[in-house]
Each structure stands twice: as C-alpha cells, then as structure tokens.
Amino acid sequence: MTKKSRPSDARGSSRSVSKKDYRADLRVLQIELVKLQRHFIRCGDKILVLIEGRDAAGKDGVIKRIVQHLSPRETRVVALGRPSDRDRSAWYFQRFVLHLPVAQEFVLFNRSWYNRAGVERVMGFCSDTEYAEFMETVLDFEHMLTRSGVKLFKYYLDISRGEQKKRLKDRRENLLKQWKVSPIDGQALERWDAYSLARNEMLSRTHNPITPWTVLRADDKRLTRLNLIRDLLSRLDYGEKNESVLLTDPDVVFPYHEAYVHNGLIAP
C-alpha cells in the first residue's frame, strides 16, 4: 500500500499539472486499471466505489476517466434518478441493492445511498425520521456488504464555494454540458451553509475503520482525477502493480478527520 503523509493544515492550491503531463500520467494509471480488471476478473473480486460531493464537484469527470478503457461487461456506472412512488414505499437501500457488484464486477456509484444525508436532507426530500433511520442503519448495511466480500471505497469530492459557482455558470453557458443542469443547481449556492453542515454530519457519523471516507480537495480537476485513481489502486491488490506511479499528494487526497473541518482543509 502506498504510504501517505499527513495533509497540511491550511487549504491552499496544490501544485497543478500541465495538460501534457496530465495525459501522460492518466494513461499510465489507466494501464494500471486494466491490470486491476484482469486481476479481479480472474479472482472473482467484487469492487464497489461510491463517489460523493456537491453539485459540480467533478464526479462525472473522474468516473469517466476510470472506466474509459475498462471492459463494459465487467464495469458498471450507477447514477440513479429520482425515486419512484414504489421506491419511496420500499426499504431505503432496496433500489441500491439491485446494482451491487457480483463476482468479477467493478461498480461505481455516481452519488449513492448518501444522497439521503446530503441533497434529500438539505432540500427536505426526506423526513427527519427517515434521515435518522438512515444514519442509524447505514453502517450496518455497509458492514454487511464488506462481510459478504464486497470491497467498498467511499470518496468525497470537496470543492470551494467559488469553484462551484464558476462550474455551475459554465454548465449553463456550455451547450455540451446543459444536460447536467437541474433545478437543484439553483439551490446549491444559496444553501451552501446547509450543505456544509449536512456534509460535516455525514462524514463524522459514517467515517469508521471498516468503511472509511477518503476526501479529495477537488478544485483542480486534473489533480483530483489522478489522485483518486492512484489512491484507489494503492488500496487494492493486483498482479504486476507499479507502485512507483501510485504516490498520492496528501494535500489533495487524505482520510477524513474531524480536525480538517475546523482547520479549513475541508471547505467551510
């Protein structure tokens, strides 16, 4: 496993990476992902990655780079829409269970059951009782998955308020990105503080040794993508691993700790 040092105590811009170096580094990491896929197909592993974060945090972009050269037969991206009336009457986790990985599969959730602790909580789409029930049972659900052999990884992409504002503006003005625009976007900045409080409670109450949260400072898309892929690969076993390309930047990606909410490493 790649050794990671402690992140610095102040939120600042990490060294960026040129487009040329980014493309070169990404290609090397995507080769490692192909090696990983060969391994989990051969060994029958079940890999599940949850990608969470505010609107415009870069979830689509990092997932696209992860799956770009992987076999679509064994790789699935799950991005569930608004729950139906039937879904709302069912056990909350029921519609997610249908999409969990089986042997030889790699599944990425673009938002997950943690939507209840974020968007649903802030926007009032769930009741206080439903929220409390979720927070009390989510770790039992996750631990049950890990006991069944699922390798579960939880990532939170954290962006600053200024960066979110810039990206949401780009969505509205870029004709190729307007499919991403939703009514919720209009509330993202207005309810920034409410989303921060919901994020902080979610991370503090659901971070644990078995299914911990890993946080990425996601203002720089290139660094976010490279460091998330490196971190994920460093935590999985597979043949012919090139450890030298998996060194992460501790100022970009780090295990959640409550102190980072207070020292500004996680955006206020």
Domain of 92, CATH number, reads 3.40.50.300
> 143 or 181: whose pLDDT is higher?
143
> Quick count: other Cβ atoms within 10 Å of Cβ 69?
13
**With contact defined as beta carbons under 8 Å apart, do 32 and 234 qualify?**
no
- Angstrom CA distances, 44 to 36, 103, 104, stand at 12, 5, 4
What digits encode the pLDDT tens for the residues 199-226?
A: 999 999 999 999 999 999 999 999 999 9
User: Does the pLDDT of residue 12 top 60, yes or no?
Assistant: no
Tally of structural domains, the chain = 1
Separation of CA 3 from chain center: 21
**Domain boundaries, position 197:** 19-262
| pLDDT tens, position by position, 100-148 | 999 999 999 999 999 999 999 999 999 999 999 999 999 999 999 999 9
Cβ pair 35, 238 in contact under 8 A: yes
State the pairing for strand pair 213-217/253-255.
antiparallel
Q: Does the residue 168 lie in any domain?
A: yes
Please compute the mean of the pLDDT values over residues 253-258 and round it to a whole number. 98
Judged against a pLDDT cut of 80, whether residue 184 lies above it is answered with no
Question: 46-53 and 150-158: which strand pairing?
Answer: parallel
With a pLDDT cut of 70, the percent of the chain lying above it is 95
Distance CA 166, CA 256 (A): 26
Contacts of 246 (CB under 8 A, 6+ apart): 2, 32, 230, 233, 234
Structural tokens at position 117: 């602790």
What is the 8-class DSSP label of residue 15? P
Whether residue 1 has pLDDT greater than 50: no
pLDDT score, position 2 = 45
What burial class does residue 133 get, using C-beta atoms within 10 Å of its C-beta: 0-12 exposed, 13-18 middle, 19+ buried?
middle
Per the prediction, the chain carries an average pLDDT of 94
Q: Are 191 and 122 in contact (CB under 8 A)?
A: yes
For residue 11, being part of any structural domain is answered with no
Predicted local distance difference test score (pLDDT) of residue 88: 93
Asked, for residue 9, whether it belongs to a domain, the answer is: no
- Confidence (pTM): 0.94
Burial of 165-194, coded b for 16+ CB within 10 Å and e otherwise, reads: eebbeebeeeeeeeebeeeebebbeebbee
Domain assignment present for residue 267? The answer is no
- Dihedral of the alpha carbons of 170, 72, 246, 233, in degrees to the nearest 10: 110
Please, which pLDDT band fits residue 182 given cuts at 50, 70 and 90?
Answer: confident
Q: Region 2-26: what's the mean pLDDT?
A: 75
Residue 268 lies in a domain: no
